[in-house]
Structure 1
Amino acid sequence: MRSIKPAALIAAVAAAGLLAACSGGTNAGDNGSGSTPSGVLTLASVDQGSIEDVVKAFEAANPGVDVRFTTSGADQYQQQIRTQLSSGTAPDVMTVWPGNGNPGATYVLAKPGYLMDLSDQPWAAKLPPAMKSVAQYDGKTYTGVFGQNGIGAVYNEDALTKAGLTAPGTWSELLNFCKAAASKGTPAFALGNQDNWVTQIVLYALVATAVYGPDRDFDQKMQAGQATFADSNWKVAMDKYLQMDKAGCFQKNPLGTSYEASQTLAATGKTLGIIQGNWVIALLKGKNPAGKFTLKTLPATDNPAEFVMPAAAGAGYGVNAKAKNKDLALKFVNFVMSPEGMNLFVKKQGGLPSLPDTGFTPDPSLAELSKYITDNKTVPFMDQLWPNPKVQQTMLSGLQEIFSGQSTPDKVLKTMDADYKASS
């Protein structure tokens, strides 16, 4: 997922899958004459719950500036942004995911010329190599990536204590944990598969260890035509996903549960947690300010030494190449990439900054993710290195079909292979 968003992964995440909301009205950016006032910036974001504070800080630092923004879920956003860009109705600044995994990703939007080249901005040269590679297209930087995100099991510590259970440390313990939680009437994890980008999250958490634990060069082998999804441990990871479902790891009817509803279940202790990106922690705290939430790796084998976590650049911001207020748009993205803006964003989201030396102190809930990053036991969100967005879309719809009994892991993985090879 490109953060998800995140995809999707990368969607997703970045954060992703958020309810629609808006500030400034539906006519933001139009003063009636077809142009935008010099002090008005239009913005579209999927970072509901965190973009609001960043906007307030930016406006406070720039008196007279009015940021008119909308927020929406990743699925809705990705469907709309390409149409808006091609029709000339897109905002000045917009959420852009790293890499190439979804319709709102850097490669996909930069290739047709929809994004402004940001290579000469002061932060661009400072991006770590792994982040720079997915924020660029054809050697030029197009996306201001402000945070690193990870995917794992986010536990509601109060709910765990109430249930008399502890977070599992191995795959066998995970299945037993799910059975024990289900027997107490409190499912282990909330799963909002009604939003199709959510379907990939549990799978990515399992794939990280199942596929990349034994083979860190799997992506290179895929690109060279030496490996496939169907004939690899992707099949093992998908099978484990279904084993979790059969073991009662999730609440009833995940396909009828939205991302928003899954947050409520985990935040209020109706489940013991949720498998998601770290961005969900801020949303859970918003629903339960007194709650304590901790992100841990999701076990996929019985050997913790093999564990790997998905962790990668999250969704960032790009500038519309045809922005009505380019100067203010650049100023906003540079604020997001400044220590002040970056730290505000990642603190609100429960993430980690993309640049070093920002003075940021990670939330204790992210201690395990921070250690995995430091120990180089992470892999990018899987879709970020795929050759086209179709692979992810096939996976997402396929996972929903698997959960509804209309498809199988073998069928979905073979179709993903066909989509991957089509543009390799």
Structure 2
Amino acid sequence: MKTPTTSAVVAAATATALLLLAACSGGTKTGSDGGGSKTLTLASVDQGSVEDVVKAFEKANPGVKVRYTTSGADQYQQQVRTQLSSGTAPDVMSVWPGNGNPGATHVLAKPGYLRDLSDQAWAKKMPDAIQSVAQYEGKTYNAIFGQNGIGAVYNEQAMEKAGLTPPDTWTKLLAFCRDAKAKGTPAFALGNQDNWVTQLVLYALVATTVYGPDRDFDQKMQAGQATFADSSWKAALEQYVTMEKTGCFQKNPLGTNYEASQQLAATGKTLGIVQGNWVIALLKQKNPGGTFTLKALPATDNPSQTLIPAAAGAGYGVNAKAKNPELALKFVNFVMSPKGMNLFVKKQGGLPSLPDTGYRADPSLTELSQFITSNRTVPFMDQRWPSAKVQQTMLSGLQEIFSGQSTPDQLLKAMDADYKSGS
């Protein structure tokens, strides 16, 4: 789901972005020499953070120029497969973990589009949970540098002005939304015009409603012993609809894109935003004096049951037909070095994927860090699905629910059909 489909979410998702995980708009930066062995081409969804990493890489490698583009997750996922199949893809590109979207590890590695990175030193240091979604058929194809979580990111100054505090139960969440609406400041910004954003609130609720009572739900789905339609996915989706009807979001989420939703939360037009932790860096760009904190989004009335979706965020893969493979490997190895990794996660407001980097988490992520260390997290849901089609059906179906063209029952049945056909 940032910015990812989460895939993800995120993390950033998203993570994300995901997708995640997740970036909001496009741009291009071009090196001055126009080509040659000292030029690396790069496509990234990490807008707001990859820029500083590129500068640091160029500084560490005098004479090297990086020609790079940044774009939103939706646009990027539509383009990357076409570029790879036509031979026009860059040397290095954003790749999501697992199998949840068109730009994910399994989807791109299976046809041979990505270079095997298993022989790189960092590949052997990845924690099992991250390594499992960076690999395809036992080989590592994704340089995943960060972990992301999805939750409610609050604007502390806006919360103080409204005289409200983050809710820790479902009942309090609905009361919080009603109180915020009554004060003229909606609780959460929601940018559902970008379809990858639609999944994030749902993932945050599903983490607790589905996986709280059943951590083995994914295995049961894979074995054909469970379905979306006949599980607590339905309860979570109905909660999402209830949040909309209660006024938890600003008017017309379908008419609001990701960047506009950031602006609402950053400037206090809403009290916060349900997103991956990657959004914090973007909010700070829009409001440098603001303070933003990620908290779990509750789905039951027992705080001890609450879980957070947290998983590997989007990383970087090397084009199997890269025009400059040596420089491409040098770049992903820089990303996975303590210097590169810490720079990335600091800018994104995330957590590093490898241990012993010396990184100190931003105070905004204190609760996320606590949930990760106490094993109160679950992977982004799409990372364990059999094909990207399931997520695409979910994203378009959620937009249809918000526009009154579909229902939770219809969406979950469609997701079940795609899950079964992709297994």
**If the TM-score is normalised by the length of the shorter chain, which range does it land in?**
over 0.9
Superposed, 1:304-323 pairs within 5 Å as 304-323=303-322
- Give CA-to-partner distance per residue, 1:253-291, whole Å, 9 cap, x none: 000000000000000000000000000000000000000
Superposed, 1:173-212 pairs within 5 Å as 173-212=172-211
Say which SS state the counterpart of residue 150 (structure 1) adopts: strand
- Structure 1 equivalent of residue 350 of structure 2: 351
Query: 2:3·2:23 contact (CA, 8 Å) conserved in 1?
Result: no
- Structure 1 equivalent of residue 29 of structure 2: 23
| CA RMSD between the two structures | 1.2
Q: Does residue 174 of structure 2 align to residue 168 of structure 1?
A: no
Amino acid at match of 1:324: K
- Structure 1 equivalent of residue 145 of structure 2: 146
Measure the CA separation in 1 of the matches of 2:118 and 2:240: 41
Say which SS state the counterpart of residue 19 (structure 1) adopts: coil
Query: 1:96·1:104 contact (CA, 8 Å) conserved in 2?
Result: yes
Query: 1:5·1:17 contact (CA, 8 Å) conserved in 2?
Result: no
- Structure 2 equivalent of residue 6 of structure 1: 6
Amino acid at match of 2:325: K
Measure the CA separation in 2 of the matches of 1:222 and 1:185: 43
Measure the CA separation in 2 of the matches of 1:4 and 1:211: 22
Say which SS state the counterpart of residue 317 (structure 2) adopts: strand
Say which SS state the counterpart of residue 78 (structure 2) adopts: helix
- Give CA-to-partner distance per residue, 1:176-204, whole Å, 9 cap, x none: 00000000100000000000000000000
Q: Once the 2 structures are TM-superposed, how far is the Cα of residue 12 of structure 1 from its aligned partner?
A: 2.0
Aligned residues: 417
Say which SS state the counterpart of residue 80 (structure 1) adopts: helix
- Structure 1 equivalent of residue 88 of structure 2: 89
- Give CA-to-partner distance per residue, 1:350-400, whole Å, 9 cap, x none: 000000000000000000000000000100000000000000000000000
- Give CA-to-partner distance per residue, 1:289-324, whole Å, 9 cap, x none: 000000000000000111010000000000000000
- Structure 2 equivalent of residue 286 of structure 1: 285
Say which SS state the counterpart of residue 318 (structure 1) adopts: strand
Superposed, 1:52-131 pairs within 5 Å as 52-131=51-130
Query: 1:17·1:195 contact (CA, 8 Å) conserved in 2?
Result: no
Measure the CA separation in 2 of the matches of 1:67 and 1:298: 39
Query: 2:142·2:316 contact (CA, 8 Å) conserved in 1?
Result: yes
Measure the CA separation in 2 of the matches of 1:210 and 1:423: 25
Q: Once the 2 structures are TM-superposed, how far is the Cα of residue 22 of structure 1 from its aligned partner?
A: 1.2
Query: 2:3·2:72 contact (CA, 8 Å) conserved in 1?
Result: no
Amino acid at match of 1:6: T
Amino acid at match of 2:5: K
Measure the CA separation in 2 of the matches of 1:107 and 1:59: 30
Superposed, 1:262-411 pairs within 5 Å as 262-411=261-410
Measure the CA separation in 2 of the matches of 1:124 and 1:255: 40
Change (3 A) 1:363 1:2: closer
Q: Does residue 243 of structure 2 align to residue 244 of structure 1?
A: yes
Q: Once the 2 structures are TM-superposed, how far is the Cα of residue 423 of structure 1 from its aligned partner?
A: 2.0
Query: 1:3·1:313 contact (CA, 8 Å) conserved in 2?
Result: no
Q: Once the 2 structures are TM-superposed, how far is the Cα of residue 14 of structure 1 from its aligned partner?
A: 4.3
Q: Once the 2 structures are TM-superposed, how far is the Cα of residue 21 of structure 1 from its aligned partner?
A: 1.1
Query: 1:2·1:383 contact (CA, 8 Å) conserved in 2?
Result: no
Measure the CA separation in 1 of the matches of 2:422 and 2:179: 46
Q: Once the 2 structures are TM-superposed, how far is the Cα of residue 3 of structure 1 from its aligned partner?
A: 6.6
Measure the CA separation in 2 of the matches of 1:253 and 1:155: 20
Query: 1:11·1:102 contact (CA, 8 Å) conserved in 2?
Result: no
Measure the CA separation in 2 of the matches of 1:3 and 1:143: 17
Measure the CA separation in 1 of the matches of 2:44 and 2:18: 13
Measure the CA separation in 2 of the matches of 1:409 and 1:4: 23
- Give CA-to-partner distance per residue, 1:51-84, whole Å, 9 cap, x none: 0000000000000000000000000000000000
Measure the CA separation in 2 of the matches of 1:392 and 1:46: 18
Measure the CA separation in 1 of the matches of 2:123 and 2:20: 20
Amino acid at match of 1:306: Q
Change (3 A) 1:2 1:262: closer
Query: 1:4·1:14 contact (CA, 8 Å) conserved in 2?
Result: yes
Query: 2:3·2:46 contact (CA, 8 Å) conserved in 1?
Result: no
Say which SS state the counterpart of residue 48 (structure 2) adopts: coil
Say which SS state the counterpart of residue 123 (structure 1) adopts: helix
Query: 1:115·1:142 contact (CA, 8 Å) conserved in 2?
Result: yes
Query: 1:14·1:279 contact (CA, 8 Å) conserved in 2?
Result: no
Q: Once the 2 structures are TM-superposed, how far is the Cα of residue 18 of structure 1 from its aligned partner?
A: 1.7
